[in-house]
Amino acid sequence: MKIFNNYNIKNESTFRIGATVKEVIFPNTIEELISVAANADYILGNCSNVLFSSENINKKIIITKKLDKFSVNEDTIKVECGTKGPLIAKEAAKRGLTGFEFLIGFPGSFGGMVCMNASAHNQSIADTFVRCRIFNLRTQNIQELNKTQMEFSYRNSLISDGSCILLDAEFKLKQDDEVKINEIMKRNIEFRQSRQPSLQFGNAGSIFKNPPNDSAGRLLDLCDFKGVEEGGAKVFDKHANFIINYNNATSKDVLTLMNKMYSKVKEKYTIKLTPEIKYIGDENTKEYELWKTMKENI
């Protein structure tokens, strides 16, 4: 595995924001991941749902993007935690397998997608999930869990609390027409392009989770946040639940803007939005105070 000290994390994040991290580790195998996992502060995949601090970060971080092996056996697909969603969506389509069309526009990897039960376009990870292997960071044991044991719900699963990490997962898809599957993926991509920012501008996807029976984007739109700027960060013009890094934004820019969005919705609708992204920085900073305010309802 590769280990870097004082590693510039900025280019690992789809937000393209971040400073120097004390230690960053890139395991090449599941066994290497297990050997270092217990002593890490954070274990991340493609860093597509993360805001790193623009101040130096005194943490040990593992990035699993090199753990990208997968296999296909008839209608069953097995993936390692660092495997990217779009890659597997295309592989499934080649074999006439349906169930992963929604992953075509996701920049994330399966470790995070399984953890948060990623979903879009009336499909979710839980729909095709069969079983997975996890590493329990408390007991330092490998466990195998089935779909029921994973307790999937909206943006949540048994392992969302960070006590365990995904090693690999198995999914069972259904046979369908390849042309039809590719057409669905094409529509999904067109939908995302029409409503969501491309990675031309750094972003981390949806900023807040949808509250029960409502939409975070709708609430933020009603609060007139589209196009609102803070430093180099800006709320996306076409969807108010996205923040883009359009002019060398700092993490403080993003967190300040998030805090304004959170506070306005709370004031106007008495709804406390829950961040969907993860913030990583040291606890003794003003940034962390902004982050803590938005985590009060968790």
Which residues are annotated as catalytic? 155, 206, 276
- The angle formed by the CA atoms of residues 50, 274 and 227, to the nearest 5 degrees, is 70
Question: CA 271, CA 268: separation in Å to the nearest integer?
Answer: 8
Query: 248 by DSSP, 3-state: which?
Result: coil
DSSP string for 233-247: EEE-SS-TT-EEE-S
| 136 alpha-carbon distance from chain centroid | 20
What's the farthest any 2 CA atoms get from each other in the chain? 55
With residues binned 3-state (H G I as helix, E B as strand, rest as coil), the percentages for the chain, rounded to 5, are: 35, 30, 40
The tokens describing 278, both together, are 């993860």
**Whose CA is closest to 107, among 91, 125, 128, 85?**
85
Question: CA 17, CA 288: separation in Å to the nearest integer?
Answer: 16
Name the E strands within 118-181.
Answer: 119-120, 123-124, 129-136, 141-146, 164-172, 174-175
**Residue at token pair 């985590």:** 295
Question: CA 8, CA 19: separation in Å to the nearest integer?
Answer: 5
